[in-house]
Amino acid sequence: MSFIEQANETIRAAGGRMTTQRQLIIELIEEVNDQLDAEGLFQLARERDDSINLTTIYRTLNTLESAGLIRQQYISPDHDRKYYTLTGRTYHFTCRKCKRVIPFKSDLIDQLKHHLETELHAMAINACVCVDGLCPDCQAEEQR
Amino acid sequence: MSFIEQANETIRAAGGRMTTQRQLIIELIEEVNDQLDAEGLFQLARERDDSINLTTIYRTLNTLESAGLIRQQYISPDHDRKYYTLTGRTYHFTCRKCKRVIPFKSDLIDQLKHHLETELHAMAINACVCVDGLCPDCQAEEQR
DNA sequence: TTAGATGCAAAAAGTTTGCCGACCT
DNA sequence: AGGTCGGCAAACTTTTTGCATCTAA
C-alpha cells in the first residue's frame, strides 16, 4: 500500500476527508523526502495550486501529525520553525557560524530511549535532538 | 569566586556594566537553581523590583547567554519557550498526557557529542535533547 | 561625561483561531 | 442535510527592536 493510500485510510478512519489540498501536501512531503517547514511547503504547493492558503498548510500538517502520518521535528537549537518529515529518524547538527546543517543518524538515540524506559519507566515516543557547534570548515577557519 | 562575582567580571570584561537589574536577575537564577523562562523570571523579579521590565529580562538573558554565563535550553518537544539554567546539563522527559516533566541525566549525550566529533569532525557546543511520551502513571492509566 | 542600559510601545515571526461560504457523502 | 474543510483576516505568543531617557563608571 502506498503512503498516499495509507494516509487516505488513516484520515478516513478518523472521520476526515481526503481533499485535493491534503493530497497535494502529502505528495509534496513524500516527493521532497526531506525536512520541510510550513513556509517551504507553502511555496512548493503554490506552484501546483496557486489558491492554496498558508493556514491550510498548517492545519493539514497538524492533522497529519496527530494521525501519526508525519513527524514534527526541530532542526537547529534556535527552534525557529517546525519541520516535518515522513519518518523523522534523522537528526541534525547546525553550524553556529555558517549555519550549515549536517544530518546524522545515531543509534545512541535509541539507546537513550531505552535508558529512559528502563531507568525512569517512561515510554519514549518522540525525541528532539539538535546539536550545534562548529562544522569542520569553520573550525579550520577559527584556527587561523 | 561566587557566581555573582564571576558574572560581574565577565560582563565587565566585555565592556558591560553590572546594573541593579542585572544583579537581581543573576541572583534569582542562582537562587532558583532550576530551569527558568523569561516570564517566570519576570514574575520573581517583580516581587523585588516592581519597575523591572520584561524587555530587560530578555535582554539580560541574551547577554548572559552570549557571555557563556547561563545556558539556554528547551524542555518540552513543543519548544514553546526558552528556559535557562546556570549549567544546563540536565535533560527532560515530558509526558504527553499529564504534562509532567521528569529531568534526567545521561552520559549517552556526551557519547553522542563524541560520536559527532569523530564521525563528522564537527565540534559540538550545545545539544538540545527533549524526549516525550508517556510517564509511568499515564501508561498504567492507558492500560485500563 | 558618555557609552551603555532601561522602560515603554510597537514590531516581528511563526502559528492558531473565528467565521462564513463551499464542498463531500 | 449535515458535518467537514478551505480561505481570509484577525488574534495570539514569545521574543526583538527603535527611541528617548537615565545611569554607572
Residue in B with minimal Cα distance to A95: B122
The predicted structure's pLDDT at residue A18: 92
- The answer to whether the beta carbon of residue A11 comes closer than 7 angstroms to any atom of strand D is yes
* C-alpha–C-alpha distance, residues A41 and B143, integer Å: 38
* C-alpha–C-alpha distance, residues A4 and A9, integer Å: 9
In this complex, which of B93, B102, B122 lies closest to A102 when CB atoms are compared?
Answer: B122
Between B119 and A79, the more confident residue is B119
* Three cell numbers, residue A96: 553556529
Residue in A with minimal Cα distance to B72: A77
Predicted TM-score (pTM) of the model is 0.83
Strands A36-37 and A83-85: what pairing? antiparallel
Its domain, for residue A70, covers 3-143
User: A107-140: per-residue pLDDT in tens?
Assistant: 888 898 899 999 999 998 888 888 888 899 989 8
Q: What rounded mean pLDDT belongs to chain A?
A: 87
DSSP letters, A84-124, are EESS---EEEEETTT--EEEE--THHHHHHHHHHHHT--EE
Q: Nearest CA of chain B to the CA of A81: how many Å? A: 10
B74/A contact by beta carbon, under 8 A: yes
* C-alpha–C-alpha distance, residues B30 and A69, integer Å: 43
With H, G, I as helix, E, B as strand and everything else as coil, classify residue B121: coil
> Using an 8 Å Cβ cutoff, are A82 and A76 in contact?
no
User: Residue A108's domain is classified under what CATH number?
Assistant: 1.10.10.10
Residue whose C-alpha is closest to residue B68's, from B82, B53, B88: B88
Q: What's the total number of domains in chain A?
A: 1
Termini Cα distance of chain B: 54
B66/A contact by beta carbon, under 8 A: no
